[in-house]
Amino acid sequence: MTESIIAAAGAWHDQDPDPETRAELNRLITDALGGHDRAVAELHSRFDSRLAFGTAGLRGELGAGCARMNRVLVTQAAAGFAMYLLEKSATAEKNGTDAGPNPAQPSIVIGYDGRKNSDVFARDTAEIMAGAGVRAVLLPEALPTPVLAFAVRHLGVSAGVMVTASHNPPRDNGYKVYLGGDSAGSQITAPMDSEIAAKISLVAASGPISDLPRSTDYEVAGGAVVRDYIAATSALSHYAGSDANTAEGPIPRSPLSVVYTAMHGVGWQTASRVFEQAGLPIPRSVAEQQNPDPDFPTVAFPNPEEPGAMDLSYALARTGADLIIANDPDADRLAVAIPDPTQVEGFRRLTGNEVGLLLGWRAAELNSRSDTPGGTLACTIVSSPGLGVIARAHGLNFVETLTGFKWVSRVPNLIFGYEEALGYLVNPDTIRDKDGISAAVMFLDLAQEYHDRGVSVSDLLDQISETYGHFASGQVSIRVTDLSIIDTIMARLRQSPPSSVGGIAVSRVEDLSAGLGGLPASDVLRYILEDGSRIMVRPSGTEPKLKIYIDTQSSIGSLAERRAHCRATLASLETEMRELTES
């Protein structure tokens, strides 16, 4: 068994063009041959399985081996995806269906962020695509994921690839895949993922990557793509470009004081240009986190949701700020914090649901003023049911989807969609993915308008709770080192579902593993409680976690009473769900 794993490592080493990962394998192979059990175990961890390609593409730790992110794996993925695109184009041409302006030659745009090896993986992809006969366009520099998602539709290409691990740990990288045509620039869904994965497996089994044709005959996009994204995104600002007019006359603008952090990612350069062109306040940027740095030196985990990640922005904001906005490292997510004297930091980060309800309410209000009102608000099944209440109050349709923007972005007649994990889609006419920069524009636009009227973001949250009912959400994350633990917990919950949680009877248990209410099958359990509370349990799609989402609501009594009721219910439900899943 040791001989076979060493042989697999040797074969991988021989085709690896990266001196760093070759050196990794050299050390491990030498130690394994010397009888070191730890080296043998490490080789097994790298070669006993393969990093799976799914609807989220690829994502994993950098390193040598087929269970890690590296140049060999990415090259195989690019070649397999090229094969998929060529076959789809050939079929479309044969059937006479629409496959773009040149169905005989599919096309792809490739972007990358500031993580380690993102630019290398992007160039490998461009060369492999060009070598296979796919027209490849490489974005000119490290840019936010939303620019790539925009470019897929804007350039009218067949597909897109973004090399990013978003908000994952520093040692991770990933490979997100988008499709044009009928998918209109959305991320892939099943069965596309399995079809692409099958092509990748064929490539991996066919021989070393040195046998694959490569070409440097790919295009590098000029600055027009970025400028067009900035123009389209800045145009979302409805208010901030001029003084507001009311029946009593114009309200002079009093610019918000805003702090921004890019979280060591690629957001600042693009976002600052968007804010300026939109006429929005230019934030003070957290200098230590402003420029891309793949080591993410000031944060333990580059995710605005994680404790401590926004500490530097809190420190800067305490010198005087009305608002903090943060993008994650690839700028497809948005976090917002507002002043709160009850917090040690002096600020409170809003939950993804609070931001989602504010932006959803804003979208509904703007839609009602438009020449063609109507459309759909959408969110994932683990996001707040409050969006449905807002939609119905404004005569709009409401749709719940499975988790992931690959589903939200495909909702027909969408005017706004969100997921509680800080993802927001505010401009579906130009982009079909979450976008932390366009969401920041919409949020700043809303905050600036009401700031000029003497109304704070906290006041707006109160207004929503008073008008539509108070909605509160909580989350429990169970991080594991062995993924089989998650399977065991899910199986136990299915076999022995609780009859009550936190002293509240469970009125209905819904298992989405066989599909439900038109939703595709998904490994999700949903508990509807007698008081209207809701609990969702599912494995994370991107991290080794079991995630539990809890939603409560109250429309009875004063705002203070509604909050107190929801707070007590959440605490009770969170405590018992943690006990149920950790025991």
| Closest of 483, 568, 474, 541 to residue 168, by C-alpha | 541
In one-letter notation, the amino acid at residue 501 is V
Decide if 49 is catalytic.
no
Distance CA 80, CA 201 (A): 8
Rounded CA separation 292/536 (Å): 35
Cα separation, 145 vs 268, in Å, equals 13
The token pair that represents 198 in the structure block = 């099958």
Region of residue 225 (left: phi > 0; alpha: psi -120 to 50; beta: else): alpha
CA geometry: angle 81, 167, 412, nearest 5 deg: 60
Identify the sign of the CA torsion 511, 551, 479, 187. Answer: positive
Give dist(CA 322, CA 103) in Å, integer.
52
Closest CA to 378 of 333, 336, 412: 412
Distance of CA 344 to the CA centre of its chain: 29
- In angstroms, the CA 361 to CA 381 distance is 18
- DSSP H stretches of helix in 376-523: 386-393, 405-408, 436-452, 457-468, 484-495
The single residue listed with the structure tokens 């500031």 is: 114
Phi, psi of 149 (to 5 degrees): -60, -40
Name 227's Cβ contacts closer than 8 Å, sequence gap at least 6: none
Q: Residues near 518 by Cβ (< 8 Å), separated by ≥ 6?
A: none
HSE-CB for 218 with a 13 A CA cutoff: 28
The C-alpha atoms of residue 227 and residue 223 are separated, in whole angstroms, by 6
Strand partners, 546: 478, 539
Name the packing angle between helices 71-95 and 118-132 (round to 10°): 40
Helix ranges, 110-208 (H): 118-132, 145-154, 192-206
Q: Which residue has the tokens 């993410």?
A: 296
Paired tokens of 16: 């690896």
Secondary structure of residue 64 in the 3-state scheme = coil
Find where tokens 């596309």 sit. 192
| Cβ neighbours of residue 84 closer than 8 Å, sequence gap 6 or more | 195, 196, 199
Distances (CA, A) of 366 to 8, 31, 259, 352, 446: 59, 64, 26, 21, 11
Kind and range of the H or E run holding 348 = strand 347-349
Give the active site residue among 89, 118, 158, 166. 166
For the chain, the C-alpha Rg in angstroms (whole number) is 24
The helix (H) or strand (E) run that includes residue 545 is strand 545-554
The residues that are catalytic are 166
